Structure 1
Amino acid sequence: MMRTLYGASPADVAGMDTERLRAEFLVDGLFRPGAIEFVYTHVDRMIVGGAVPLANPLTFGNGADVGTPLFFTAREMGIANLGGSGSVTVDGTRFTVANRDIVYIGRGAREVTLETDDLQRPARFYMNSVPAGADIAHRFIASSEAKPLVLGEEARANRRTLRMYIHPEVAPSCLLLMGITDLAPGSVWNTMPPHLHERRMEAYCYFDLAAVDRVVHLMGRPDKTRHMMVADGDVVLSPAWSIHMGAGTGPYAFVWGMTGENRAYTDVDPVAVKDLR
């Protein structure tokens, strides 16, 4: 079964308490051992998913929950492995996927099977799927193929390496962008300074956090910010009208996925830190 989240407008968020804010914009419980979990959000109709295959493979492809004959009749997807080595098989073509590798699945795929190589360290697959209007070939993107961008400053505790995977400069797609950002030792801030994507939404999946740590994720309009405490494996949905930035109490990384009007990564509206409220 697929859960559904409907999102909210900026005016709605102003009156939300912590419980309501988390219910609308935070997805937890995606990585259940031996199961696939999907959440359909009306924020640009992105689907986020998690899967942890154990002894038995996990398979999906039916389109009943999205109203089409197949899941990929009108969708594309990126699958990132955040755990031990495993495999992703798309219509009979098998990709061996190590930690931090990503598989792009284009429109028209019929069946996807997810497997784990070592039950002592199972694969942990994180998925972003968005509507697609073009047929793009499936592709495996190793972590070594991703394009790195080093951003930020150690002195400002925001030094980080952003790696582009599903991106026009690395692997094409219809409207999906996807990559992984790692913070340098001693840095805590991500996506700093903050910005808005007026033409795109974004989802953050935080991972590699210790059980005792949290990321303080900030969202909302620049002049009316809100925060959520985010644990390992949690996903935050960031609508186009919301800033997104955060600071961790310990080391962490995150997968970013975007969709909207374009694939221009630099199409952002910066927000000065002094203007945050």
Structure 2
Amino acid sequence: MTMRVLFGAGPGDIDGYGTERLRAEFLVERLFEPGRIAFAYTHVDRMIVGGACPTGEKLSFGDGADVGTPHLFTAREMGIANLGGAGTVSVDQQRFALANRDVLYVGRGAKQVTLESDSAAQPAWFYMNSVPAGADIKHRLITKSEAKPLELGEERRANKRTLRMYIHPEVAPSCLLLMGITDLAAGSVWNTMPPHLHERRMEAYLYFDLAAEDRVIHLMGRPDNTRHLIVANGDCVISPAWSIHMGSGTGPYAFVWGMTGENQAYNDVSPVPVETLR
């Protein structure tokens, strides 16, 4: 298991960033290497993002040395989304079978998490978001059919999409974590429209189901001072509260969104008119 540390930056800092520095501060690449677990800890609201692709052997984690506590979950909660083949997540003595696009909520107090794929030829892709938690909430599996779908966007604007809420007060409670999956309709390319800010929450975007030759152009920065990241399959963007976020793909894709901050009010956002972007 590896833990990379990101320190974040303020909106005034990115004026001096070239491409490599921007990617180093806000992009976590190649989260799903076969047979390993990779985590990145960001000081932006202390979220941890991670990825695991178990093949022939089970993969386990739970030690809290990297966060200064006896166990990773001593004062944290986590969402685990399966974006690949079928697999199983064991939390201490409980086993949960996750199909593609199922999400497991792991509550504070867990000791060890073990990940395994049903088939090494079609391994699971376990994507993880973890944030500090101040409440004990039971572990819970949320299947795709149990998630709350929202139909958003318009075909004529190339932003028609289905957003599914998984870890959310209306579906499955948590302390501070929100997590869901958005799938774009055939022919649509824009993942969020209009762009917006939510000053009281940060967000992480994990892009997946891209072909090897395709990329997502993720736009970030202040509305009057934007930058972009070129993102591949299985890469994650850290989006601080001061930054807009929207993206367009060169081919089909989906993404997992995870949020934490001062509240869990999904609609606590400030839309930014496209014509004002610079």
**Range into which the TM-score falls when normalised by the shorter chain:** over 0.9
Q: What is the CA deviation profile of residues 24-53 of structure 1, one whole-angstrom value per residue up to 9, with x for unaligned ones? A: 000002111001111000010000000011
What fraction of aligned residue pairs are identical, expressed as a percent?
Answer: 76
Distance 1:78 1:227 in 2: 27
SS at match of 1:20: helix
Name the structure 1 match of 2:238.
237
1:154 corresponds in structure 2 to 155
Residue deviations 1:198-232 (CA, integer Å, cap 9, x gap): 00000000000000100000000000000010000
1:266 counterpart SS class: coil
Q: CA RMSD in A?
A: 0.5
Separation in structure 2 between the aligned mates of residue 203 and residue 9 of structure 1, nearest angstrom? 16
The aligned counterpart of 1:7 is 8
The residue aligned with 2:250 is: 249
Output the CA distance in 2 between the equivalents of 1:214 and 1:3: 23
Question: Structure 1, residues 150-199: CA drift from partner, whole Å, max 9, x if none?
Answer: 00000000000000000000000000000000000000001110000100
3-state secondary structure, aligned to 1:209 = coil
Structure 2 residue 134 is matched with structure 1 residue 129 = no
How do 1:165-244 residues align onto structure 2 when only pairs under 5 Å count? Answer: 165-244=166-245
TM-score by length of structure 1 reads: 0.99
Shift of 1:77: 0.1
Q: How far 1:91 moved relative to its partner?
A: 1.0
* 2:85 aligned residue: 84
Aligned-residue offset at 1:54: 1.1
Number of equivalenced pairs:
277
Moved over 6 A (4+): none
Provide the rounded CA distance (Å) in 1 between the counterparts of 2:11 and 2:219: 14
2:64 equivalent in structure 1: 63
- State the alpha-carbon separation in 2 of the partners of residues 26 and 87 from structure 1: 28
**3-state secondary structure, aligned to 1:14:** helix
Distance in 2 separating the partners of 1:61 and 1:159:
39
Q: Distance in 2 between matches of 1:9 and 1:176?
A: 23
Tell me how far 1:14 sits from its aligned partner: 1.7
Unaligned runs of at least 5 residues, structure 2: none
Residue correspondence of structure 1 range 110-129 to structure 2 within 5 A: 110-129=111-130
Report the counterpart of residue 96 of structure 1 in structure 2: 97
* In 1, Cα distance between equivalents of 2:258 and 2:144: 16
TM-score by length of 2: 0.99
- Unaligned runs of at least 5 residues, structure 1: none
Quick one: which amino acid aligns to residue 58 of structure 1? L
